[in-house]
Every structure is written in structure tokens, then in C-alpha cells.
A = this chain, B = another copy of it.
């Protein structure tokens, strides 16, 4: 694997179909699953690693966000990447960026409320990756469902010739969705954190049993873990990220809540084929995540 720090050099190494997975580093099995899938589906696998200041809000954990390039490079290579694009801030932002890419209608709900500048920061940097690195297929986790919807729409709206592919959420053995921020959790907080996936799995069971009402599914989540204080519980149209009353098209059920210092999000996706819904609950690891390896 080559480690490259300029857009031009990374782009010059592209050959055949290019699969791309962007990361903020401190990678876990979720990221690796994206890279492994890119390896299976494309000729050339390009991964980026950059902790993007634009997508952290005031008072968020930009400075504290874990950075471990050697560890990350080893894992990214082992998952099958050909090139790791790890630019310095000077390559990403040689001058103060003046350009914002915003998909405002899709950022009006959910995390867009608590983090008003977050999604414009994400859309801007991903637009930059897509324009500057020119992948043919780009892989994102379904765990960040709103982000995935926004990036999908951004690429389509800007006629970018890239397929944006959402991949199943990877969960720890107990159901907690993998997140680099899980390492912040103390032991007691971890039990609380499980409320998110427990609520979602209960709702997934009810969809399998025939429930199609958005509000009913939201209630099931809340009733399953009545002591947990959710920031939101919402069934959303996947194309528009607006509330969906009846589960009759691609959608997701998203939850968020604060546990200790960490703000956690999770969701399940509802896919449709021939009018039949199937629930994507994600994939569970059988053992501890490599996040906890020393």
C-alpha cells in the first residue's frame, strides 16, 4: 500500500475502477468492512484518512478525536487498500476555504438539528474527495444514515460520476453500533448505550411481524427502553430525510442519545424489493472489536 499526501498523486495512481472509502482514522471493523467490499468490487482501492475540522462544531471533540496513523495504516492495508490518502491540513486547505456544499433540505432533521454545521462540513469535504480523487464507487456505512442520504443526493445533484454505496452497520457482539467514539464509554455508560440498539431491534422484530406505521415503530423503541432519554426516535424517508408515516418505501429508523461524554447515533434500514420490506439490522461481531486492542 502506498501512502500519498496530495490529491494529484493519489489521482495519478488510479487504474481501472476505483473504490473509495473516506475515514477520520482510528478505524474499526466498520471501516474495514467498507474497504473489504471495495476490494471485492473494484480494481483499485483508495482510502482517505483526514480528521476534517469542518465537520466538527464549536465545543465538539475535534482536538480530542483519536489519531493513530501507524495503527490505522496497518489495518487499512490489511483490509486490502492500494492507496492511503492521508493529506496534511495544508493540502486540504491551503487557503481558508470559502466554498460550502450544502444539502440543506436533507439536513433539516435529526443530527442536523443538534449539529447545524455538521452536514455542510461533511458534504463539502466529500465533494472535494469525489472531485479531486475521482472514485467510481464510494463506500459509506449505513450507520450514518443521514450522512449517507446527503452524500448520495449531493453526488446526484452535482452529476458526479460515482456510485455511492451504503454498507451494513457493524455492531459489537452485544449490539452496540461500532463507532470510534465508543472508546470514550465507561463500563456503566456502556450498559446505557445498549439502549439504542435494543430499542431498534425491538422495532425491527415488529416490522418483521407486519407493523408498517412510523409512529408505532417510534413508540416501540421508546417503550422498549423507557428509562433512556432519546434525543430523537424517527422513521425517515431515505431519499428526503423527512418523517415517514407509513413504511412503504426505502426508509430508516434512527435514534440518538447522549451517554456520558459521548453522543451516540444508531439506526436500522428498511429496504424494499418487489414491494416487500426487509430490515437491515447490521452485522454483529462475534468477539471484541479491535477498537479495544492495545
Contacts and interface: CB of A to CB of B under 8 A. Distances in A.
B99 A161 contact: no
B159 A131 contact: yes
A127 B124 CA distance: 12
Contacts of A124: 158
A286 to B, nearest CB: 40
Contact of A100 (B11, B101, B129): B101
Contacts of A103: 98-100
Contacts of A260: none
Contacts of A105: 98
A7 interface: yes
A157 B104 contact: no
B128 A97 contact: no
A8 B159 CA distance: 9
A108 B159 CA distance: 27
A153 interface: yes
Given A130-B131, A131-B130, A131-B131, A99 B159 contact: no
Interface string A76-113: 00000000000000000011011111111110000000
A99 B132 contact: no
Contact of A123 (B97, B99, B104): B99
Q: How many copies does the complex hold?
A: 2
Interface residues of A, number: 32
A154 interface: yes
Contacts of A100: 100-104
A132 B161 CA distance: 6
Nearest to A105: B98
A160 interface: yes
B101 A106 contact: no
A103 B127 CA distance: 14
Contacts of A99: 101-103, 123, 153-154, 157-158
Contacts of A158: 99, 101, 124, 127-128, 131-132
A210 to B, nearest CB: 31
B101 A7 contact: no
A98 B128 contact: no
Contact of A161 (B7, B95, B157, B159): B7
B132 A98 contact: no
A235 to B, nearest CB: 20
Most buried by B among A8, A123, A160: A160
Interface in A103-145: 103-106, 123-124, 127-132, 134
A100 B101 CA distance: 6
A147 to B, nearest CB: 14
Nearest to A132: B159
Given A7-B161, A161-B132, A153 B102 contact: no
3 shortest A-B CB distances, which residue pairs? Answer: A132-B159, A99-B157, A131-B160
